[in-house]
Structure 1
Amino acid sequence: MPQSTRRSSPVPRHARPRKQHPALRVLAVGLVAVLLGAVSLAGAVAQRLQGNVKHVDIAALVDRPTPTSTSGTTEVADAHAARPVNVLLLGSDDRSGENAEIGGANGGMRSDTAIVMHVSADRRRVELVSVPRDSLVDIPACRLTNQKTTKPQRAAMFNSAFALGWDDGGDIASAAACTVTTVQATTGVPVDHVAVVDFAGFQKMVDAVGGVQVCVPKAMTDDKTGLNLPAGLNALDGQTALQFARARYETGSDGSDLTRIGHQQQLLAVLAHKVLSKAVLTDPVKLMSFANAATSALTTDSGLTSSTATGLAYSLRGIDPAQVVFTTVPNGPAPQDRYRVVWTEAADRLWAAMAADRPITDALAPPSTPVQSTTSQGSAPASTATAPSPAASQPAAPLPKDVTSVDQVQAQASAVCGG
């Protein structure tokens, strides 16, 4: 793996960013929720939603062009059938238009939220790996839409890739492409698609499903975001959910990006659970409202159409929530900068497993520790016509440390907050 800034310590510590960043940090949940909740949105509905999504063509800017979807089909077809799919999810702090009304007008565009989502070839696993923006990585040369090529950067912050593409290329296509190029170079994981979601759309998504409930063991107050939550189970609307997603300066925290990632993963899990619940799936008005908000918030590569997402969602319709898992790239403090982090050797195992379509839970588990996985390497892919059967899953086993799942978050909320 071509990562030059490595620390072998397996025990990561939180790192405090040197500068305060006033821009809103957004949870990139739009596409995830669409994939998990768009089961009923096929055919004509998917075509109608297609007009909401903004597309950028990055095929000429990355070394691995993104696949295109099947066009003109009326069936709910998985354009990626029989092979794994990797989607890079990015949150933007676009401060123009409606977003400026929420966070205040500001020039430029940054992305402090990045999640690599892996969907297994047999459609039995969805794995989401958060990448800390403060990770020090080597950013390769990036091709931009204006025909320029950026210079490689060594030991740069991961989120510099997006900023570099935007500042030098002048558009979101260059920013997204540079981030894709960086992910592929530093992880060895091929990226099939990229999706960027803004925070105005995120608020609408949460409101469209009637809000979400989040368990807060201790009262949370964050002066930077205006968040003020009592201990216990809290009902969050879109605005409060956004405050929760970007909070990292609450009392008792170290103000690190890792603190915020933990909130984002919790919020992502409860939102996915809400979308998967009968309260949304059996309510056509609420489901359509959510899908409309989600697709309107997205900017994707030209190959990721609503039909492509719907086909993939349909193939995931029987997935066990226990197999939708979240984790953060294993990391430790950067020797040269205590405000930054570097990926540990465990990150190599995680990315290698993802690239080979093996469960990341196996890669992160200590030796001789049983893990929760339902797919072995070389297993037959699920047919697009037949959903994976939860009955085929192995009995649930403890997840490795620092890995959580949708149903685990719900179980913890019930145990701690009685939700």
Structure 2
Amino acid sequence: MRGTALVTVALLAFGGTAVYATYERLNGNINHVEVDDLLGDRPERAAVKPGADPDAGKPVNLLLLGSDSREGENGDIGGRVAGGMRSDTTIVLHISADRSRVELVSIPRDSMVAIPSCTTTDGQTTGASDYAMFNEAFARGWDTGLDLASAAACTWKTVEANTGVRIDDFLLVDFAGFQNMVDAIGGVKICIPADMDDEKAKLHIDAGMHTLDGRTALAFARSRHSQTSDGSDIGRIGNQQRLLAAIASQTLSKNVLTDWTDLLGVLNAATKSLTTSMQTSDLAGLAYSARSIRTGNIAFMTIPWGAAPTDKNRVEWTPEADIVWANLASDTPMLTGTQNDPGTAETTAPTKNPSGGTKATQNPGKTPKPQATKKAGRDSFTLDDNTGSC
């Protein structure tokens, strides 16, 4: 949605100098970082005209990150914490090659995975681990390189090594950016299924339909110590997904993207705290090419997981996760071949690759039966399913 709005501004920019200046200001809000040199050998991208989809005809995988930075305004919101930075939220967003599907897969930060050695912007390298908590990747990049480029690149490499899914770009937003964006759309309407009291997240809200302002929406997204949660990261992932779906549905239903005044307010708030490896024109071109995607084809899920045998407070991905990652890597609908598959089609069986991730085999075969999987909340849902009613 943010990209679609940006391309709208870009098109209107041709209508007058004042509008062009507005576009330039919004573009200047975004913190653009280069990470290609930190990722190793990457294919060179073809040059395209401004506003065109740089990956037309190809699937795109974006890494969406939410940081728990406590610098500046973020410290006022989340509380001052000495040293370090972690990734609070990680989502792999897949856009199909034909631009008909958008699929968002959340990765629990407590997942136990292999973390590769990473190079930081100052030329240093981080240590590698065969079995460590997922959000350590972001922390190691930050603690060594002391910048978001190093942190995001290490998370990027970790995702690719463990999933076999090639990531094309990343987008990161902090506390302040999320809070301000919710306020810019006039709050978000959502059903709170049970009373929630969480002192750590500063959340106190009764069950029922509510329109959450930015501060309350952020507290809802961060909450994991209320009476409805077990205190883990898993519990709040479902809340985050429902909140993102509600924001998307509300933005589309209110026609924010076609109302010039509302559009500028949302864009100004959204871009001020956005850090990305994408150029603004490329982001806009991608979003514009996907503008006709139906809400029923925008789906959310948490990667299938089970409790880690070494620590009940940590999780490991189940064999069914390999199927999901293989589907994304091959641009197949993500639920194909899983126990939540809406159809009966078989999927390509995943195999381990040398880096520890998964990849699709060349010859389709019968999908291995997945083990019983413990999941929190709904396994998956689309924007059409997230009606927001109590």
Please state which band the TM-score falls in when normalised by the shorter chain: 0.7 to 0.9
- Pairing 1:305-316 to 2, within 5 Å after superposition: 305-316=279-290
Show structure 1 runs of 5+ residues with no match.
1-32, 373-400
Cα distance, 1:279 vs. partner? 3.9
Residue 162 (str. 1) matches residue 131 (str. 2)? no
In 1, Cα distance between equivalents of 2:72 and 2:264: 24
2:126 corresponds to:
150
Distance 2:344 2:257 in 1: 30
SS at match of 1:294: helix
The number of residue pairs the alignment matches comes to 350
User: Would you say the 8 A contact 2:4–2:284 is kept in 1?
Assistant: no
Determine if the alignment matches structure 1 residue 56 to structure 2 residue 33.
Answer: yes
Match of 1:83 in 2: 58
- Contact 2:6–2:280, Cα closer than 8 Å, also in 1: no
Q: 2: CA distance between counterparts of 1:98 and 1:67?
A: 37
Deviations 1:350-376 (A, max 9, x none): 000000000002143457x5289xxxx
Q: In the alignment, what sits opposite 2:315?
A: 341
Q: Which amino acid aligns with 2:60?
A: V
Instruction: Return the alpha-carbon distance in structure 2 between the equivalents of residues 228 and 99 of structure 1.
Output: 20
Q: Which has the bigger relative contact order, CA under 8 A and spacing at least 6?
A: 1
Q: Which residue in the other structure is 1:370 paired with?
A: 343
Residue segments in structure 2 that go unaligned for 5+ positions in a row: 14-19, 346-377
SS in structure 1 of the partner of residue 70 of structure 2: coil
Q: Give the aligned partner of residue 328 of structure 2.
A: 354
| Distance of 1:62 and 1:256 partners within structure 2 | 31
Q: Give the structure 1 partner of residue 180 of structure 2.
A: 204
Shift in CA distance, 62/235, structure 1 to aligned 2, threshold 3 Å? same
Equivalent of residue 193 in structure 1, options 169, 188, 194: 169
Query: SS at 1:360's partner residue?
Result: coil
Matched to 1:230, the amino acid is D
Choose the corresponding residue for 2:189, options 213, 236, 239. Answer: 213
1:184 maps onto 2:160 in alignment = yes
Question: Tell me, what secondary structure is at the counterpart of 1:342?
Answer: strand
Contact 2:184 2:265 in 1 (8 A): yes
Picking from 234, 251, 272, the partner of 2:227 is 251
User: What CA RMSD, in Å, does the superposition of the two structures yield over aligned residues?
Assistant: 2.2
Please, which moves more after superposition, 204-213 or 222-231? 222-231
Output the TM-score relative to the length of structure 1.
Answer: 0.79
SS at match of 1:132: coil
Query: Alignment identity in percent?
Result: 51
Equivalent residue in structure 2 for 1:227, among 203, 214, 218? 203
Relative to structure 1, is the Cα distance of residues 82 and 57 closer, same or farther in structure 2, using a 3 angstrom cutoff? same
Assess if the C-alpha contact under 8 Å between 2:196 and 2:228 holds in 1: no
Deviation at 1:37, TM superposition (A): 5.0
| Cα distance in 2, alignment partners of residues 273 and 65 from structure 1 | 35
Cα separation, partners in 2 of 1:283 and 1:371, compared to 1, 3 Å: farther
- TM-score normalized by structure 2? 0.85
Alignment of 1:236-315 (within 5 A): 236-301=212-277, 304-315=278-289
